[in-house]
Amino acid sequence: MNKVVTTLLTLFLLLSMASTAQKEGGPDFEKFKSQKIAFLTEKMNLTPREAQEFWPVYNQFEKERMELQFKRRELEMKTRDENATLSDQEVISITREIAASFRKEAENAGQYNEKFLKILPPQKVLLLYRAENQFRVHMFDQYRRRRE
């Protein structure tokens, strides 16, 4: 029964996020996000109550993390062209902004860790981090298999 409720809740979350995902990057992003939610839900074995409280907070965390990473990529793109003529001062400014974005991402992760600990038992928060890493490896493996 618990698995059925969790599965239904996950499907509901996926459907509600579909319209947002379309805006954020199209069908590939939607598929990725759906796979990630299903993967994390299974690995963490969330109860329906935990899932209901956890997913909105986690989705906000992911949104903020993606925004920070996107801004950092924009900065990195400025320096990608080897023939670009940036002054030393411009380069220093960019490197400081990149370093600041890493600090902000780490601060953000720390703040959300505390939020997760208020929602989930500590063991499930640890499972979250393990599952995120496992998902990343899983996606790289899928990518490699498609390229072969």
pLDDT in tens, 31-88: 888 889 999 999 999 999 999 999 999 999 999 999 999 999 998 888 887 667 888 8
Residue with tokens 């400014």: 93
What pLDDT, in 10s, does the model give residues 113-146? Answer: 999 999 999 999 999 999 999 999 988 888 888 8
Reduce the DSSP state of residue 110 to 3 states and report it: helix
d(CA 39, CA 132): 9
pLDDT for residue 17 is more than 70: no
pLDDT for residue 6 is more than 70: no
Residue 24: predicted pLDDT: 52
Residue 23: predicted pLDDT: 45
Q: Which two tokens stand for residue 88?
A: 């030393």
Sequence ranges of the domains in the chain: 2-147
Range 63-93 burial, b when 16+ CB lie within 10 A, else e:
ebeeebeebbeebeeeeeeeeeeeeeeeeee
